[in-house]
Amino acid sequence: MKWLAVLAVWAAKLIMFLIKLTGLGRASSLPGKVALRVCPSLLGHLGKQTECLVVTGTNGKTTTANMLAGILEHAGYTVLANREGANLLTGVATAFARSSTLGARINSDYAVLEIDEAVFPVVIRWIKPRLVVVTNFFRDQLDRYGELDITVSKVVEALNKLQHTVLVLNADDPLVARIARESDHAARFYGVFPDARLAGKASYSREAKFCSFCGKMLSYRVYFYSQLGDYKCTQCGFGRPQPDTEAAAVQSDVFATLARVRAGNDTRQMALSVGGLHNLYNALAAVTAAQLLGVKLETAMDSLQCYRPATGRMEIFAYGRKQVVLTLVKNPAGFNQALAGMLAGGDNSKDVLMVINDNAADGRDISWLWDVDFEVMAGCFGQFTRFVCSGQRAEDMALRLKYAGVPVSLITVEKDYRRAIASVLQGEGTVANIMTTYTALWPVEKILSRWAERAGQHAPYGMSHVS
């Protein structure tokens, strides 16, 4: 069937060329879609020619995969990756087709693939990863995937169908750590030292408070956010495993994170130019995976120092003297992190834009907005000059803010993206925070990048929004 794979690659490359020529779209999934139509087993054919490394889980996939790809390239390897968050089957096929030669050969040392947790079971029918990173499990777009329990079970089931693979697991997430017990694969853990200083205050959207094995309530010694922390089941003994890679002495604000990272006998200082505990987890996942592949801790730290966030992952722009932060929000855990980041930025005056869509890729059900702790802003409303709500569900966003106690005089609905963005850029605040769901991210970013300057233009990763 080799000729079919060649034909599929040609078809994909032709479409990429046409998309580039016409400037329509980003060519991150259509070429793969067509290629798979031509040759359904394309991923099997291309995937076995390189070492596949998979990143899955709910949040942090794009960042973790980009960090891992960066570290491997820094260490001198060639890497192919689906870098734009196109993490369904078609996005993976596009990434492979892009890197393939016209003879359907892959010459990269590694393929770093971020894969949607719900699609993971399908992808591993074709791709046999050498290593699988699982970041975390949060509620995400429930209307597409059913409930969280089912998602986790499906990932475990799929992992158990693989013959040889190594798992890189988040020790601090009980829903991820449980996988080590339920599969025969070797596992390495990463985590953050349970320092009470880092404990989060919003506790509502915790996911699994119950032991996955015996059903008893988990007890937390230190609790970070959602269900992450230092947990233990007092009945059956299931608890946070001792991490192989652990960060301590953590300092984090909106723009940077410092930590001391211990991996085996080696300890190094880590400096990230992205903020938030969630990004620290992403970096730890990437470091742990890279170490398993023989990359030195020092090399990994060097590479992470140059990491710049991908579009919408707390990306910073400048509009005159005003700082603009663009953040993708797609579930309560991520939105809570974005709010915490915004409030951690200090009491400078803020203009806020929230853009909520309900297309299939955003999740048709926007009920999750009510699981976000907007109430953490209570008592800080003096810092805000306006809350502009946009997108297909702008009215629902406005409603949520009203019931979170935001003064109605600060809330406006502006469906037009350009006018919505203009109003927060021109607002009197010193910072503008823009939070958008998935399908609004690209149109918003496109308008924003025309009016505002992107900080760190030299960034090596995540900036390639045109393919």
Partner 1 sequence: MHLTVCHMYPDLLNLYGDRGNVIAFVQRCRWRGIRVTVREVNLGGPVSFTGCDFLFIGGGSDREQQLIASELAARLQELQAAMEDGLVVLAICGGYQLLGHYYLTLEGRKIKGLGLLDFYTTAGARRLIGNVAVEAELNGSKSVLVGFENHGGRTFLGAVEPLGKVLRGYGNNGTDGLEGARYKNVYCSYLHGPLLPKNPALTDHLISLALQRKGMDGKLADLDDTIERQAHEAMVQRLLA
Active site residues: 365
For position 410 contacting partner 1 by CB under 8 A, the verdict is: no
Of residues 51 and 373, the one with the C-beta less far from partner 1: 373
Please, what's the largest Cα pairwise distance for the chain? 65
Write out the H or E segment, with its range, that includes residue 188. strand 186-192
For position 366 contacting partner 1 by CB under 8 A, the verdict is: yes
Of the candidate residues 367, 381, 407, 416, the single one contacting partner 1 (CB under 8 A): 367
Q: 372-404: b or e for each residue (b if 16 or more CB lie within 10 Å)?
A: bbbebbeeeeebbbbbbbbbbbbebbbbbbeeb
The tokens describing 57, both together, are: 């889980």
Of residues 147 and 428, the one with the C-beta less far from partner 1: 147
Of residues 156 and 399, the one with the C-beta less far from partner 1: 399
Report the distance separating Cα 386 and Cα 463, nearest Å. 29
Of residues 1 and 360, the one with the C-beta less far from partner 1: 360
For position 182 contacting partner 1 by CB under 8 A, the verdict is: no
Which of these segments, 186-194, 303-311, 395-403, 455-463, binds partner 1 (CB under 8 A)? 395-403
- Count the neighbouring beta carbons within 10 Å of the beta carbon of residue 248: 13
Of residues 4 and 399, the one with the C-beta less far from partner 1: 399
For position 364 contacting partner 1 by CB under 8 A, the verdict is: yes
- Cβ(465)–Cβ(444) below 8 Å: no
For position 147 contacting partner 1 by CB under 8 A, the verdict is: yes
The tokens describing 381, both together, are: 């409303």
Q: Of 325, 322, 341, which is closest to residue 333 (Cα–Cα)? A: 341
Report the distance separating Cα 179 and Cα 405, nearest Å. 40
For position 149 contacting partner 1 by CB under 8 A, the verdict is: yes
Smallest gap from residue 389 Cβ to partner 1 (A): 10
Q: Mask: binding to partner 1, 414-433, rule CB under 8 A, as x and -?
A: --------------------
Report the distance separating Cα 411 and Cα 405, nearest Å. 11
Which of these segments, 255-263, 308-316, 393-401, 435-443, binds partner 1 (CB under 8 A)? 393-401
Of the candidate residues 148, 177, 435, 440, the single one contacting partner 1 (CB under 8 A): 148
Tokens 């991923």, residue located: 43
For position 379 contacting partner 1 by CB under 8 A, the verdict is: no
- DSSP secondary structure code for residue 241 in this structure: P
Of the candidate residues 4, 7, 142, 166, the single one contacting partner 1 (CB under 8 A): 142
Report the distance separating Cα 259 and Cα 280, nearest Å. 8
For position 365 contacting partner 1 by CB under 8 A, the verdict is: yes
Which of these segments, 93-101, 145-153, 312-320, 336-344, binds partner 1 (CB under 8 A)? 145-153
The tokens describing 372, both together, are: 């976000």
Of residues 306 and 410, the one with the C-beta less far from partner 1: 410
Of residues 17 and 403, the one with the C-beta less far from partner 1: 403
Name residue 222's beta-bridge partners.
Answer: 230
Smallest gap from residue 359 Cβ to partner 1 (A): 13
The tokens describing 4, both together, are: 């079919």
Of residues 1 and 236, the one with the C-beta less far from partner 1: 236
Of the candidate residues 103, 146, 320, 407, the single one contacting partner 1 (CB under 8 A): 146
Smallest gap from residue 360 Cβ to partner 1 (A): 11
For position 342 contacting partner 1 by CB under 8 A, the verdict is: no
Query: 375 Cβ partners below 8 Å, 6+ apart?
Result: 404, 405
Of the candidate residues 128, 268, 402, 465, the single one contacting partner 1 (CB under 8 A): 402
For position 400 contacting partner 1 by CB under 8 A, the verdict is: yes
- Report the SS3 class of residue 45: helix
Of the candidate residues 166, 399, 410, 455, the single one contacting partner 1 (CB under 8 A): 399
- Cβ(64)–Cβ(282) below 8 Å: yes
For position 453 contacting partner 1 by CB under 8 A, the verdict is: no
Of residues 120 and 368, the one with the C-beta less far from partner 1: 368
Torsional class of 60: left (φ above 0), alpha (ψ -120 to 50), beta (otherwise): left
Query: 439 Cβ partners below 8 Å, 6+ apart?
Result: 357, 359, 361, 362
For position 371 contacting partner 1 by CB under 8 A, the verdict is: yes
Burial of 101 (0-12, 13-18, 19+ CB in 10 A): exposed
For position 143 contacting partner 1 by CB under 8 A, the verdict is: yes
No. of H helices and E strands in the chain?
A: 15, 18
Residues of span 191-250 touching partner 1 by CB under 8 A: 204, 206, 209-210, 215, 217
- Cβ(175)–Cβ(227) below 8 Å: yes
Count of residues touching partner 1 (by CB under 8 A): 33
Residues that bind partner 1 (CB under 8 A): 142-143, 146-149, 204, 206, 209-210, 215, 217, 364-371, 393, 395-396, 398-400, 402-405, 408, 411, 413
